[in-house]
Structure 1
Amino acid sequence: MSFLSGAHMTGGYGGADILHDCTIGVERGEIAVIVGPNGAGKSTAMKAIFGMLALRQGTITLDGRDIGALSPQERVVAGMGFVPQTSNVFRALTVEENLEMGAYIRKDDYRETMEQVFALFPILREKRRQPAGELSGGQRQQVAVGRALMTKPKVLMLDEPTAGVSPIVMDELFDKILDVAKTGIAILMVEQNARQALEIADKGYVLVQGRNRYTDTGAALLADPEVRRTFLGG
């Protein structure tokens, strides 16, 4: 069983099921990437693992503990950080205030964690007094990731972290994600830029219509002719 595991997940948003016996997992310090065509259930799988979607079947475990009955807020307390694709910063608040909002569940002194975030994302230190809404798209993504890191998560979940950013900014964000994984945090992310994401992934999941189609290391999926032809543009 993986450190974070969503096993045999079946469910949807009230009507027909979107996920069908879908299994996703990631270990400490690893990067696991969920890829697949539009409508494959990638973001739905993430939301199910985070507790935003009721499952008809399946189990969600974190570090061996069944967390299926926990609300999303309770899962944050248990060690899960989630960065949605959109509306993931408080635009009217400064960068520093956004990071402070991420520490709302903490009872200890969070200043050391904020320094770690500023060390990871130096541009945020430079712009700490600036409203997040005035930042570029890539900088706002750094704020969103930084705010999630302020909770001191065991797992960081990222839904399309490079959506709408330039290729240069995408590469920079992937470099930062690698840096976060090196600290021992498990990273699970959904990504449309499948080829680039699999290049940094320890493990990859290719979903089609809510089902696991391929599961392997990132390198093995990149080397698979059928995966390349069908999902990576040749």
Structure 2
Amino acid sequence: MAEPFLIGESMTGGYGAADILHGCTLAVEKGQIAVIVGPNGAGKSTAMKAVFGMLRLRAGHVKLEGEDITALTPQARVAKGMAFVPQTHNIFTSMTVEENLEMGAFLRRDDIRGTMEQVYELFPILKDKRRQAAGELSGGQRQQVAVGRALMTQPKVLMLDEPTAGVSPIVMDELFDRIIEVARTGISILMVEQNARQALMIADKGYVLVQGANRFTDTGPALMADPEVRRSFLGG
């Protein structure tokens, strides 16, 4: 069996002396969408931070394209092709939309205009508001700026922590549609999502975490169909 494109395997770690993750494993293939769901306090965001290098592991490892990157800093992981969009404080509010996108390309030394056009094609409203301060945008538009800025790094893996938090159902559906479009370009998506039912509908792979450990792992449709998953985590 070939290794997954990205894998955080048997991850154990936490903050200070207390472990939050207990042998947790997450993986995503190239161009696929993997979704992490579970109750509040399950360690979902912690698991994402561990994969991105924001949390030191006591056990386990992280590999990207077969290379062990466990010891790398988050900055070094960005250079390897990983992009992370946190749930909050994920844009520069005083900068314009276009300046935010330019900041996403800070590691690049090539012409970024083509990538910026791709972002504007994906999120047309951002092109209309490119000269506007990002802090003046709606919640959904801010999330588009955050995702667009991450895409400016030309990532191989896009990690999203609660991308639809606080947005309306219509905006949530639109964001999910855009996430599917991103995956179709060959970018792997790993995301934590509170709206478990909707997220699993678009997931190639789903992970249900409970108390920092894997409770269920399967395809999105299989998890949606699992009676115990439905009863315990999807509201029946």
TM superposition score normalised by structure 1: 1.00
* Aligned equivalent of 1:163: 165
* Aligned equivalent of 1:207: 209
Q: Determine what percentage of the aligned residue pairs are the same residue.
A: 78
Partners of 1:229 and 1:60 lie apart in 2 by 32
What do residues 143-179 of structure 1 show as CA deviations (whole Å, max 9, x unaligned)?
0000000000000000000000000000000000000
Matches within 5 A, 1:74-153: 74-153=76-155
What do residues 105-161 of structure 1 show as CA deviations (whole Å, max 9, x unaligned)?
001101100000000000000000000000000000000000000000000000000
* Aligned equivalent of 1:174: 176
Partners of 2:171 and 2:122 lie apart in 1 by 15
* Aligned equivalent of 1:36: 38
* Aligned equivalent of 2:48: 46
What do residues 164-207 of structure 1 show as CA deviations (whole Å, max 9, x unaligned)?
00000000000000000000000000000000000000000000
- From 24, 40, 49, the counterpart of 2:26: 24
What do residues 185-230 of structure 1 show as CA deviations (whole Å, max 9, x unaligned)?
0000000000000000000000000000000000000000100000
Which amino acid in the other structure matches residue 211 of structure 1? A
1:16 deviates by 1.2
1:15 deviates by 2.0
Residues paired across the two proteins, number: 234
Which amino acid in the other structure matches residue 189 of structure 2? I
Partners of 2:207 and 2:224 lie apart in 1 by 12
Partners of 2:26 and 2:48 lie apart in 1 by 9
* Aligned equivalent of 1:193: 195
Matched position secondary structure for 1:12: strand
1:14 deviates by 1.2
Partners of 1:17 and 1:66 lie apart in 2 by 22
Which amino acid in the other structure matches residue 75 of structure 2? Q
Query: Could you say what the CA RMSD is over the residues aligned between the two structures, in angstroms?
Result: 0.4
Partners of 2:166 and 2:174 lie apart in 1 by 14
Structure 1: gaps spanning 5 or more residues = none
Partners of 2:222 and 2:155 lie apart in 1 by 29
Partners of 1:200 and 1:23 lie apart in 2 by 20
What do residues 4-24 of structure 1 show as CA deviations (whole Å, max 9, x unaligned)?
100000000112100000000
Runs of 4+ residues over 6 Å off in structure 1:
none
Structure 2: gaps spanning 5 or more residues = none
Partners of 2:203 and 2:105 lie apart in 1 by 28
Which amino acid in the other structure matches residue 176 of structure 1? R
